[in-house]
Amino acid sequence: SQQGEEDPQALSIQEGENATMNCSYKTSINNLQWYRQNSGRGLVHLILIRSNEREKHSGRLRVTLDTSKKSSSLLITASRAADTASYFCATDFGNEKLTFGTGTRLTIIP
C-alpha cells in the first residue's frame, strides 16, 4: 500500500507546548499536504509542501520534508486548546488522487 504512516498515533500535551507529528511514505511524490479534522467533521487543508521544498511555514505551523528519507513532520508551536483535532498527511503522486495517512490524534490539555 502507498498509504502514509503517521506517528505518533496519539499525542497529549499541555497548552502552550509545541506538538510534533511525523509522516512517512513509500514512493516518490509531487507534493505532501497536511489536513486537520475536528471530531465528526470534514477535513480542512492546512499546508502543502512540494517535493522540491524542504521547509514551509504558515502561522504557527511549520512543515518539513525530507525526500531522501521519504518523511515529513508537522510542528505546531504554542499550542492552544482549539488545536485539539486529528491531523493527517496526504501524499500526491500526480495522479489526480491523494493518499491519506492514518492520522495523529492531538489533545491539548488546558
Candidate list 27, 52, 59, 96; residue touching another protein; CB under 8 A? 96
Residue number with CB closer to another protein (15 or 92) = 92
Query: Per-residue x/- marks for another protein, 42-61, CB under 8 A?
Result: xxxx--x-------------
Collect all residues with Cβ–Cβ distance below 8 Å to 104 and sequence separation of at least 6: 6, 7, 8, 9, 10, 11, 21, 86, 87, 88
Query: Per-residue x/- marks for another protein, 3-42, CB under 8 A?
Result: x--------------------------xx-x-x----xxx
Question: How big is the site for another protein, counted in residues (CB under 8 A)?
Answer: 24
The closest alpha carbon to 33, from 97, 80, 82, belongs to 97
Which residues contact another protein (rule: CB under 8 A)? 3, 30-31, 33, 35, 40-45, 48, 88, 90, 92, 96-103, 105
